[in-house]
């Protein structure tokens, strides 16, 4: 079901102690300042901190725990890897998949991501599936063809029931960590396009029910404008999720 979500992707940042201090500040500020709004907050710390940070999130409320990646297999001899079931067992409800940093630095392709999606869904996790074009693609005026293919190859192999569990995140690569945000009009244009592709692949109801987040230099200053767009249902926040005041302001932007 379509929701408003603000997800914080801590990436490979913080120590356990810094992370605990950060989440404690965020929980206190959000509880004091965010009233009435139904926005869901998903916190995605690094793997080793999931369990501890998860225990700091007030149970049964707007806070949810997410991971930044998972392996495609259930278990086995895969030294250093973490399965979706492990994540579920420490309280994660969401997992980010297909982030451009994973695609670029760890060579994750559509085939591998398809397997990861299946593994996450089988373990009962909700995937936050990222798509987004490079600056080169945008400048060549190929954004929509590129995104259509990314969605078709990476995501639309899922059944209707599986797709129901998925949150889509549009993250233009040129906007990630660069301070260069997509304008709200650019974000809206792409989000509407993604929703249209979902309607074609599934149906209008599936499209209407899908939560589509924007990610890429979203911050306390631009979040309100971005979130006011009809097809922008929230944000996947990197840098600004590491600052309690900024992250809280973003959550308050609905
Ligand atoms: O997952 C989050 C995105 O990569 C956005 O990162 P950013 O907010 O630091 O640009």
**Residue 229 is part of a domain; what is its CATH number?**
3.20.20.70
Q: Which two tokens stand for residue 95?
A: 């997992």
- Say yes or no: ipTM exceeds 0.95: yes
Q: In this structure, are strands 126-131 and 212-214 parallel, antiparallel, or unpaired?
A: unpaired
| Alpha helices per DSSP H over the chain | 16-33, 50-56, 84-89, 100-105, 110-122, 135-139, 143-154, 160-163, 184-201, 204-209, 223-227, 244-251
Say if residue 128's pLDDT is above 90: yes
Domain containing 14 equals 5-251
State the total domains in the chain: 1
Binding residues for substrate: 9-11, 177, 217, 238-239
Sequence-separated contacts (24+) of 28-33 with Cβ below 8 Å: 29/244, 29/245, 29/248, 30/62, 30/63, 30/248, 30/251, 31/58, 33/248, 33/252
Q: At what angle do helices 110-122 and 143-154 cross, to 10 degrees?
A: 50
Contact 213, 167 (CB under 8 A): yes
Nearest atom (ligand 1) to Cα of 175? 10
Mean pLDDT, range 11-17, rounded to an integer:
98
Say if residue 36's pLDDT is above 80: no
pLDDT at 181: 86
Q: pTM of the entire structure?
A: 0.97
Name every protein residue with a CB atom under 6 angstroms from any ligand 1 atom: 9, 99, 171, 176-177, 215-218, 236-240
The residue to mutate among 134, 236, 246, 247, having the most atoms of ligand 1 within 8 angstroms of its beta carbon, is 236
């Amino acid at each position: 079901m379509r929701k408003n979500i603000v997800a914080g992707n801590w990436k490979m940042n913080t120590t356990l102690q810094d992370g605990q201090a950060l989440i404690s500040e965020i929980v206190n500020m959000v509880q004091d300042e965010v009233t009435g709004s139904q926005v869901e907050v998903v916190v995605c710390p690094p793997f080793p901190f999931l369990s501890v940070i998860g225990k700091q999130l007030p149970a049964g409320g707007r806070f949810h725990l997410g991971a930044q990646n998972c392996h495609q297999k259930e278990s086995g001899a895969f030294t250093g890897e973490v399965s979706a079931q492990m994540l579920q067992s420490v309280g994660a409800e969401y997992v980010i998949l297909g982030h451009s940093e994973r695609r670029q630095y760890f060579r994750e392709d559509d085939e591998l991501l398809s397997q990861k999606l299946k593994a996450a869904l089988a373990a009962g996790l909700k995937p936050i599936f990222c798509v987004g074009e490079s600056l080169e693609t945008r400048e060549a005026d190929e954004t929509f063809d590129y995104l259509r293919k990314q969605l078709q190859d990476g995501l639309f192999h899922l059944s209707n029931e599986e797709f129901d569990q998925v949150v889509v995140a549009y993250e233009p690569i040129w906007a990630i960590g660069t301070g260069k945000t997509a304008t709200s009009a650019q974000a809206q244009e792409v989000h509407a396009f993604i929703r249209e592709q979902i309607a074609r692949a599934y149906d209008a109801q599936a499209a209407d029910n899908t939560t589509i987040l924007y990610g890429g230099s979203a911050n306390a200053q631009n979040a309100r404008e971005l979130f006011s767009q009809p097809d922008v249902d929230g944000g996947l926040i990197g840098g600004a999720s590491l600052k309690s005041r900024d992250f809280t302001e973003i959550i308050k932007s609905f």
